Chain A
Amino acid sequence: DAGVTQSPTHLIKTRGQQVTLRCSPKSGHDTVSWYQQALGQGPQFIFQYYEEEERQRGNFPDRFSGHQFPNYSSELNVNALLLGDSALYLCASSQDRAVIGYTFGSGTRLTVV
């Protein structure tokens, strides 16, 4: 049984560009959350999607947006990239609000130059 799959694994972008990261949740999970983990820091909550809608959002600017598709997969979009957006982006899936059952993917390492 595949867990959470994220793509790509690594990405290098130039400041000012836009990026899209993708996440396929674990089978049976319908909720997807995105986290940003800067180097040497703990993950920070970006937002959560359930039933194709953003249910809760952390303290991130509007440059960060997302989408959830009918098959529960999700995308994270970041516009006007800044050097400070360089981080590991983690996707986690769960069944509805079951934070105990969170399964994390291995992440996408984004480097902005």
Chain B
Amino acid sequence: GEDVEQSLFLSVREGDSSVINCTYTDSSSTYLYWYKQEPGAGLQLLTYIFSNMDMKQDQRLTVLLNKKDKHLSLRIADTQTGDSAIYFCAETSYSSASKIIFGSGTRLSIRP
């Protein structure tokens, strides 16, 4: 079946790098995503990676994909207070192209 798992909480010091990890079970995943959700807001797509890639960099964000281990990570460089939010790992697959499967989210807390 399809399942996406991630740790619930992460606390980092302002200015440090944050690394949020995720594992998934669907070997036919096509796209893997990182979404951000701030209080009272909907989901914002931060970045995504196609399953035939192993890394993608976009300004402060770096996504690493280990397809063999079905492991996805999001690194946020120079973490700021505005990065405080819940981050969701998600995936779509060939068999269910219309729906996105989300993890339970990682709450990122920034300490001064």
Contact = CB atoms under 8 A, between A and B. Distances in A.
Contact of B104 (A42, A55, A56, A102): A42
A44 interface: yes
Contacts of B100: 43, 45, 99, 102
The contact size tier of chain A is 20 to 34
A90 B88 CA distance: 14
A70 to B, nearest CB: 21
B104 A106 contact: no
B46 to A, nearest CB: 12
A33 B45 contact: no
B99 A42 contact: no
The contact size tier of chain B is 20 to 34
A81 B104 CA distance: 24
B10 interface: no
A55 B99 CA distance: 10
A2 interface: no
A28 B9 CA distance: 37
B40 A106 contact: yes
22 contacts: A4-B42, A33-B98, A41-B105, A42-B88, A42-B90, A42-B102, A43-B100, A43-B102, A44-B102, A45-B100, A48-B98, A55-B98, A56-B96, A56-B98, A56-B99, A92-B43, A99-B31, A99-B97, A100-B45, A102-B100, A104-B44, A106-B41
